[in-house]
Structure 1
Amino acid sequence: MTSEFDLIRQHFTRATTHTDLAVGDDGALLRVAPGMQLVVSTDMLVAGTHFLPDADPADIGWKTAAVNISDMAAMAAQPRWITLALALPAAEVDWVARFAEGFAACCAAFNVDWIGGDTTRGPLNLCATVFGEVPVGRAVLRSGGSAGDDIWVSGQPGLAALGLQALLGQRELAGEARTSCLAALLRPQPRVALGLALRSVATAMLDVSDGLLGDLQHILERSGCGAQLEEVALPLAPVLAACGDAQAARDALLRGGDDYELLFCTPSTQRDTLQALSDKLALPLSRIGCLVEGEGIVLCRQDGSREALAGRGYDHFGKPGGN
């Protein structure tokens, strides 16, 4: 029988590049560079809530690391270290090996040292804690937005939601559309390079995990603003092309979540800078509206009408359908 300590030695002990002491003692030893603040974030993934129980364990491993690393990007921090605590129903060596492979691959892709954690028996539950560095006073918070700032989103929000619908048998997707939507859901790409580049540009920022509208509402509440979105500016075309349903595409983009794209605000004077950054990173950046005085979210439709949108995102303790 494989013991807890065998699992740790065989699958959860990895080489590190910028850590004084990693796995093997009662704690890791880290050294934060002079002039830097330590940024810490924790995310938990639970079977049946954040991933399907029969999902590829390598994909689960990647996503467990990615959603945490994305939080560093959202604060314009350089991710440095990560720990992992996991509960396993049983010590299934093949499952653990695949999971560890995916987790380690994501860490390696973003130069994050995996420095320890814990294992125990229990319902499948994965909890990572990520540590990053940002120059003192340079972190981008949710609270810095002002009326008149542009609102931007990176990449292609909405595809992950369609991917989940496909896995649940709620929507038929075929060919390249299915491939891209499942990739967005199962292998999200933390926008670390973008987050770092926005240190001197963005006034407010977060990553989209619970739906664009719901996460935008967090910025509005912390910044004391409202938002005006432009229907014509929403990056709907790729989502619509994937599903062929205009209403479903809009719902996926605005409310779907699980994208881990960056939603951020910048002064309107920075538009040329953002276009150049988009070209440099080969990453679409869409200016979808602006912050305004007041509160709430209004969508300006192409026909000139205005629609009030509820800024509700996914809530683990909310009523079914509350997002």
Structure 2
Amino acid sequence: MDNIEQGLKPHDRLAARLADDMDAVNTLIRTKMASEHAPRIPEVTAHLVGAGGKRLRPMLTLASAHLCGYTGAYHIHLAATVEFIHTATLLHDDVVDESAQRRGRPTANLLWDNTSSVLVGDYLFARSFQLMTECGSMEVMRILSNAAATIAEGEVLQLTAAQDLATDEAVYLQVVRGKTAALFSAAMEVGGVIADADAATVKALYDYGDALGVAFQIVDDLLDYQGQSEATGKNIGDDFRERKLTLPVIKAVTKATPDERAFWVRTIEKGKQDAGDLEHALALLNKHGTLAETRVDAIAWADRAKASLAPLADHDIKDMLVDLADFVVDRIS
């Protein structure tokens, strides 16, 4: 590894290692985004895809395939499939959340309309299923179709759990495992399956993706209260304004005095928010140390991800995945 590459962040090192494959994935994505009869489809998808993003999930598929010695071409199809599933969920999420910003740019539902976002998301889901069938593996189709169902289930669970103060950390973890970690674990798992890796290796890849996905979402939820808008591409306090009961707040509710609980009932359960409420929420999170506790949880999940890879043979990509787990939580250091 040269000095320039050593200076890169773990995600960027992985991207450099997989650059040729990612070029092929991006070409395939552009091809499959095309629509002869509905130009709105490439317009909407090009806006979201063109917004950048780390392409982390498809890179996990490519990385796991290489880690397992795969030499075929179907990992490209699977990586594109994973990205289509992810992009479809983003389009739907922004409609559900009534979001106005994604990756620092206006959301598709703001630039076009909710109907376009939902229908184009549906199109991308359909495209993802077309792509996964081209590999000819029932196991791959089982994994990715289960992931798609689990993601949807997690989103529906969040609809009710996110504004119910009875939601505890176990339910929160169930939501996170559904809406976020399911695609991380599937992305890793299918790379091993397409490479005909043994069951223990595939399980290790799955466990890494699951733990990394949980850490990733916990960090995202934490950054909503203490990040920088320029870095996150989101407005600080969006989760509070959208009445999402995320881990820092769940922890604060368990420690709340009667007056504090009344504040959470008013702002989260009833949605009656006034000027200064976000600042008061932040003061309560800091008072009870729940931001720091949430950070500890995120680091523990990152450590769990790294431990999952321990049984696998030495490989430069394995080292990059270990570093990636650290990098995910370094965002909150």
Both structures adopt the same fold (TM-score exceeding 0.5): no
Using CA pairs below 8 Å that are at least 6 residues apart, which structure has the higher relative contact order? 1
Q: Normalising to structure 2: TM-score of the pair?
A: 0.30
Q: Decide which structure has greater strand share.
A: 1
Structure 1 or 2: more helix by fraction: 2
